[in-house]
Chain A
Amino acid sequence: MSSRRQAVTGLTFTSPAIIAFLIFWLLPVALTLFYSFTTWRLGSSASFVGVQNFVDLLGDPLFISATLASLKIAAFAVIPSLLLAMLLAIALADPRIRLGRFWRVLFMVPVVTDWVATGLVWQLILLPNQGVLASMAQSLGLDFLVRVPWTADATLAPIAIAVFIIWKQTSLYMIFFYAAIRSVPGDVIEAARVDGATPWQVFWRITWPLMRPITVFVVVLSFITTLGLFEPVYMLTGGGPANATRTLPIFLYENFFTYARSGYASAAGVLFLAGSLAFAVICSRIMKEEA
């Protein structure tokens, strides 16, 4: 087969994915970029305003507080989630663990369940006085926990959301780490053990360096994914109380759909995308330098 014909065949077969990518990803991104320079309000026509939306956003205390709230929740969720995922992956990769496949499937249950459905369950878990957590606290004599307003307190609400995200996402990251650990050549580890390396030394000096590329990938993935999460915040707090958990996705959604300030929301989306891309580029640079 000539290379030209091969390319045509390849393009033909990949065209469904390419068309879907163009329509459902590239086109919306291009339109968002275009509308970010306009005064477009949902249902009305748009007029060009240059970079005014971006200037307004940078001076908008709600946008700044939404950015900070997103970063706070991401920090609360991602760091413990990755540590937990790593520990679980190490444990499950240990050949001494029995029923390894069963545990892996069990841990994946939160990942494959729906955010909204599990959000309702978490509402009931966290409900003060009548919720699961409150009932457990009451039966254990921990009365000070019975009335704690987990999702209605400005300090606790971001933590409650982070805990929900940790529960839901940790196993996803665990699978990446698990695959990375399993990909480390067994003979290398065996050789290290024969040479007298302790389990910690094996992990720190062999497994971990070989896992670093996937770790950087998971850090980028988890951080950007968490920043973009809409459902857990909307389900547990709706952005409240008093804007304490009004994250960037909530800010975007409300400005776009509720207030119909679609051009303004598009500009916020562009800034969000730019920030995410910058973070990904920095992480990949770090990875490249370390390599």
Chain B
Amino acid sequence: MRLISWTLLTWVALSATSGWAQEKKNSPELLVAAAADLSAALQEVGDRYEKKTGAHLKLSFGASGALTQQIQNGAPFDLFFSADMDYPRQLIAAGAADQSSLYQYAVGKLVLWVPADSPLDLDHAGMNVLLNPSVKKIAVANPQHAPYGRAAVAALKHAGMYDRVADRLVLGENVSQAAQFVESGNAQAGFVALAHAVAPAMRGKGKYWEVPADFYPPLAQGVVILSHSQHKKEAAELLEYIKTKEAAELLQKFGFTLPQN
């Protein structure tokens, strides 16, 4: 009994002082909404930034369309990293984001991904492996609200294959869920972000084939500071960091290409 009360007392004391310490530090938490293709890359960029500046980032990942919905309905994010340029522009038009902050931070790449033990020969057949009868389900992100889903559908249409595989498509809520469907073996192939295929957690678990860039409209990805943000100064500082060579190199490591400027 005494032990329990001592533990409790210590815990209360500890949490009180740590709360006080956090307040004293006086660096606000930045809430960042980010497209699902950034789930590994932005984590690393964020870690680096936090260590450098002592800032606090809280990252939320989801389909860009879904996040846009949440922001329009008052989600308290400070910054939004989209997987395209349209959703940020939509938010600017709705008065929910600052026009002047819009910055294209990367161009994403779409890849066709199969599990490592798959017999499909991606290197030679490319997208044609999808016509193989052993491919029963093909995972894509939901094109209704995920840019990578739209890119996948565009690429299939460009290759003239969409109608032949449409009844085998399964939709992930976002591109991460599409990747998960393949990783768990439930789908035999899937269109995911190159950033997923090269992420440490996925490396070695699968093989990928880069969909040629002219098969789908470029996945130019934009970031904006949101109008409701209470921490615009800190958000702008993070945005400045994203523009540095260091952050750009990190993004490149995850398969993003950089905007031509």
| A and B co-occur in one complex | no
State the A residues within 8 Å of B (CB). none
The interface of chain B, by Cβ under 8 A from chain A, is none
